Chains A and B, each alone.
Chain A
Amino acid sequence: MQEKTLLDDHLDWLEAESIYIIREVVAQCANPAMLFSGGKDSIVMFHLARKAFQFGDRPVKLPFPILHIDTGHNYPEVIQYRDDVVKKTGVKLIVGHVEDSIKKGTVRLRKETDSRNAAQAVTLLETIAEFEFDALMGGARRDEEKARAKERIFSFRDDFGQWDPKAQRPELWNLYNARIAKGENMRVFPISNWTELDIWQYIARENLDLPSIYYTHQREVVRKNSLLVPVTDITPKAPGDVSEILDVRFRTVGDISCTCPVLSTAANPLDIIAETAITEITERGATRMDDQTNEASMERRKKEGYF
């Protein structure tokens, strides 16, 4: 391999930074886990984690489990993908079910079809307590949303799981401080500095597989407030709704009740890179029903323990 300087390629720079952060979590924390939803950001993060502990052709052993907080409202392609990853890599998977929190009564929904996305925070905190995790790595990016843009890479949560944006720890150079007292928690965001475009460029470069719904497919949708709301068991047509079958793809894959696809015929990462580079709407703006309700809804959810 020829010599090169890192500055030549921003993807190498981002990759090295993320690997350093993931290794730092393992070195500093006794019982970390990595959040994994089967979405593109967590797929990239998981790939980086494997690289961080890879020695040539030897089998990679990740020194932590992956954790999925399952709202129960998933696209089957995504759950299939998650289970295939476990089968292929031998990684240990832990699943926290929002359904269990509902049964316990710690999560209450007004009606069965309400978005379970916000409820995830409760299940997340319960799972952290059950397994005594001291650190959780998450695939959030600072370019996603205004509250995310304020997040430290090592982000301290108190013993209620709360984020206090006014009292974040100073974070200097690459000297990350993961010290906590019992019951407290660190959330760590190894891909903080990546943008949506970086993620797709990296997926293309590294030849990463994604759940098929990231690429163009036909789907029955209803147009609502400039969103394309998919017709599913969880988001059925309301009286008077007129549905259409359109060529769509998902820019972000989350809970069915709050994620919408966009119109697209992009069939591979390169097509998506071309689309992403000229898009006029942000990832969240185009796809999320829950963020539009209030200017500060992400910040509020984060304060309650959401990642």
Chain B
Amino acid sequence: MTQANHAAEHQNVVRFITAGSVDDGKSTLIGRLLYDTKSILVDQLESLSKTKHARVTSSDAGVDLALLTDGLEAEREQGITIDVAYRYFSTPKRKFIVADAPGHEQYTRNLVTGASQSDVAIILVDASRVDLKTSPATLLAQTKRHAAIVHLLGLRHVVFAVNKMDLFNFDEQVFNTITQAIEDLCQKIGLPQPTLIPISALLGANVVNTSSNTPWYKGPTLLAWLEGLDTSPASEKTGFRFPVQYVARQDGSASDDFRGYLGQVEAGSIRKGQKIKILPGNTEATVAEIYLGNGSTRDGSNNGVDSATTGDAIAIRLNEDLDISRGCLFISADDITPPSLSKAISADLCWLDSEPLSMNRKYALRHTTNTVGAKVKAIEEVLDVQTLSHASETHPLNTNEIGRVSLILQKPIAADLFDESQATGAFILIDEVSNHTVAAGMIRQTSSQ
């Protein structure tokens, strides 16, 4: 952490995921980022040089950088990444949380896990495994699948790192050919103009340091790109959204008896004295007090704060006691685009469980802090990752498949579209027997029917 010695108090946090097929070099890339930002400490390096990895073929400094993240015994045995590893490093400009996700198709659910918690995706493309003879060049199916998932999950920034350029002597022509294939892919799935960087994770080219081997490349290194990202909160597409997480009661003498509503501001902001609406039910109340973890004790006063904004974990008291429980949603009373109370929704699902989707069973749908029963009424489309087209034949989704479905709900939920608000537009399905989290859902359409 020698780079972090400024101990900056005002750094922001960037969470990113590395995606791409197995053996594209994701773990090596992260190892390289950590190594070149001097985030690896001496004892970790020593332990690395003592460890064997089934996949090691390189003699780079005698150290296999992938081993920094492949920490499980089974991963060392097989030389692959099985589950997401989280790594942390900082530069004087930023703090980074890295989700190193596996590339194997059978572990796609772990990629979805990592992607749902990231703002940024680095999709690794192994140049040596792109078929350059076709026109346009043919990318691996896993590259396409991962790009599609990253897009479905609405990550704000995507970069394609074209890796192993050293195997082609950093040939500009090869990079251009691959660029064309990636641009083609992005157009198909609707990803806006992608960023592309030619790198060699193994040799460290254009990862943290610029490479003299790519004089034709004028863009930033991967790290410089990450440091330069605009991470100001996305221009808000919805007003105030506050799902009630927990109702805290203090039952004492009548004068001290109170209820407080705990939760996180998921969008917008709230002020003391503001009128809010409680969904479902449409009752109104006025915010009497707001307490904020980071404001309530640091300045010595404990009288609460005047306002809170997106991301704050707060406690709210209202001016009257109403029937409010976990799962209720507070919005501003004058919200001009309130969420719709929906009993039927259309959504994209990433199916994550080994047991396929059942049309006959009821699932628990968790949306914000609210849980309702749900059934899949129809499979509208299934995504074919080879062609990135929606197959005309539909079938109940299997593990790692992606499809558009319509769901009917036992009780209405206060939902926004996923593109408008991730917090009120995302959900998970839970199998009520196994308790497994079986699907990730993104709401694309709502209906009160």
Contact = CB atoms under 8 A, between A and B. Distances in A.
* Chains A and B are bound partners: yes
Interface of A: 1, 3-17, 19-20, 23-24, 26-27, 48, 51-58, 61, 63, 142-143, 145-147, 149-150, 165-166, 168-175, 177, 179-181, 192-193, 195, 197, 201, 205-206, 273-274, 276-282, 285-286, 295-296, 299-300
Contacts of B313: 15-17, 19-20, 23, 52
Given A170-B112, A205-B298, A277-B7, A16 B312 contact: yes
A277 B113 contact: no
Nearest to A226: B43
11 contacts: A1-B306, A5-B233, A13-B13, A55-B250, A171-B116, A172-B428, A173-B117, A177-B437, A273-B7, A286-B43, A299-B72
A219 to B, nearest CB: 22
Contacts of B269: 3
B141 interface: no
B186 interface: no
A284 B311 CA distance: 32
A23 B247 CA distance: 10
Interface stretch (B85-93, B124-132, B162-170, B374-382): B85-93
Contacts of B304: 56
A173 B423 contact: yes
A154 B319 CA distance: 35
A6 B292 CA distance: 12
Given A170-B113, A172-B437, A181-B435, A15 B1 contact: no
A183 to B, nearest CB: 13
Given A150-B85, A277-B4, A285-B44, A5 B232 contact: yes
Residue in B7, B263, B291, B422 with the greatest tally of chain A CB atoms within 10 Å: B7
Contact of B297 (A3, A51, A63): A51
A171 B86 contact: no
B310 interface: yes
A146 B43 CA distance: 13
A293 to B, nearest CB: 12
Contacts of B289: 55-56
Contacts of B294: 9, 11-12, 15-16
A174 B291 CA distance: 21
B426 interface: yes
A274 B260 CA distance: 40
A286 B311 CA distance: 36
B213 interface: no
A57 B301 CA distance: 9
Contacts of B262: 23, 52-53
Contacts of B72: 146-147, 150, 165, 296, 299
B21 interface: no
A218 B252 CA distance: 49
Contacts of A54: 291, 293, 296-297, 315
A54 B313 CA distance: 12
Contact of B245 (A23, A165, A281): A23
B152 interface: no
Contacts of B242: none
Contact of A170 (B260, B295, B440): B440
A16 to B, nearest CB: 4
A57 B302 contact: yes
A177 B12 contact: no
B25 to A, nearest CB: 19
B51 interface: yes
B7 A7 contact: no
B117 A279 contact: no
Nearest to B81: A150
Contact of B430 (A11, A23, A27, A177): A177
A276 B1 contact: yes
A302 to B, nearest CB: 10
Given A19-B313, A20-B313, 6 more contacts: A27-B369, A52-B293, A55-B258, A56-B302, A58-B250, A172-B113
A88 to B, nearest CB: 15
B200 to A, nearest CB: 25
Contacts of B311: 5-7, 13, 16
A193 B7 contact: no
B1 A197 contact: yes
Nearest to B432: A179
A170 B437 contact: yes
Nearest to A178: B435
A175 B426 contact: yes
A180 B296 contact: no
Contact of A56 (B73, B303, B364): B303
B426 A173 contact: yes
Closest A-B pairs by Cβ, 10 of them: A146-B71, A285-B43, A6-B311, A277-B5, A19-B313, A179-B435, A16-B313, A27-B246, A57-B302, A51-B293
Contacts of B295: 1
A171 B312 CA distance: 21
Contacts of A277: 1-2, 4-7
Nearest to B436: A169
Contacts of B76: 295-296
B389 to A, nearest CB: 26
Contacts of A56: 289, 291, 296, 302-304
B41 interface: yes
B374 to A, nearest CB: 14
B359 interface: no
A197 B7 contact: yes
Contacts of A11: 9, 294
Given A7-B231, A12-B294, A170 B109 contact: yes
Given A23-B245, A51-B293, A9 B1 contact: no
Given A278-B1, A278-B2, A280-B42, A166 B83 contact: yes
B343 interface: no
Given A179-B435, A180-B435, A278-B5, A285 B41 contact: yes
Contacts of B422: 173
Contacts of B245: 20, 23-24, 27
B195 interface: no
B446 interface: no
B87 A149 contact: yes
A226 to B, nearest CB: 9
Contact of A282 (B44, B86, B97, B260): B44
Nearest to B115: A172
Contacts of A3: 269, 307, 309
Given A175-B427, A197-B4, A281-B43, A166 B312 contact: no
A201 B250 contact: no
A296 B73 contact: yes
